[in-house]
Structure 1
C-alpha cells in the first residue's frame, strides 16, 4: 500500500474533482475516475432514495486489500482512492467514487474496473432501496 492511497467510508458528499486531486501524481499519464450514482429506478420500479450502511473499519480494510491487489497486478499504478458513502442518498448523488492514477492509461482503466467490480463483490456495504410501495435490502452482490 502507498501511504498516499485513500480508502474511506463516510457520510460526506463525494466530489469527483476532490478525488482527482487526491490521486494526482507527477508520474501519472492517466487518471480514471468511476462515479457510481443513485439512479431513479431498479428493474423498472421507481426508486425514491437509497440508504447505505457499512461496517466502516472492515469496509476500509477490504478496500485496502483491493488496493494492494491492484498494486501487485498493475505496476504502473501511482495512486488509488476508494470512497463510499453511507446514510440517505437522493437520486443523482454519488454513492461510490474510485480513482486510479497510473503511468499509462491502460493500467488506470483496468485497475479502476477491477476496483469497482471487486468492491461490489467483497466490501461489506449494504443498501436499502426505498420505493413508493416498500423497501428492499440489497447486500453484497456482483454487478
Structure 2
C-alpha cells in the first residue's frame, strides 16, 4: 500500500475523521492531524468569511508535494491531505493534513513540513472578506 493514502481538492465540507482513517496503520505509533480553520480575524481585522480558488493543476501539485515529503521523511507510514475550495464561513475547515509514523516526533516534523510546503507551492488562492466591507486576495493557501 502506498504511503500517500488521500489527496484531494474539494468543494465540499472536509472531514477530520476521513483523514484520520486514511492514515490509520498498525505500524504507526504516532498520528498527527493538522486542521486549518477559517478564523474570525486577520491582522486585527474582522473576517466575515472567505473563498478559496484553485488552479486546475492544484490536486496534481498537492500530490507532488506529498511525494516530496514522503521521500524526505522515509519514516512516514501514511499521509493524507485535503483542501477545500469555494465559500467558507468562520469555523469551517479549509485544510486537513494527516501523517502517521512509527514515533510522534517524526509524525510532527513530517506534518509540519507538509502543511508548510502545501501553503508555499499548491496553487490555491484565498479571497478574504472583512467586517468593514473590504476584501483582499492572498497569494496562496
TM-score for both structures, normalised by structure 1: 0.91
CA distance in 1 between counterparts of 2:85 and 2:4 reads 23
Aligned pairs, number? 140
Distance 1:102 1:3, change over 3 A: closer
After the TM superposition, which of the residue ranges 10-19 and 95-104 deviates more from structure 2? 10-19
Q: Deviations over 1:107-130 (max 9, x none)?
A: 111010000100111100001001
Q: Is the 8 A contact 2:14 2:84 kept in 1?
A: yes
Question: Which residue number in structure 2 is paired with residue 104 of structure 1?
Answer: 103
Deviation of the 1:3 alpha carbon:
6.7
Deviation of the 1:11 alpha carbon:
1.2
Aligned-pair RMSD on alpha carbons?
Answer: 1.6
Question: Which residue number in structure 2 is paired with residue 129 of structure 1?
Answer: 128
1:68 maps to 2:67: yes
Deviation of the 1:22 alpha carbon:
1.0
- Unmatched segments (≥5 aa) in structure 1: none
- Divergent runs of 4+, >3 A: none
TM-score for both structures, normalised by structure 2: 0.93
Deviation of the 1:140 alpha carbon:
2.3
CA distance in 2 between counterparts of 1:29 and 1:4 reads 17
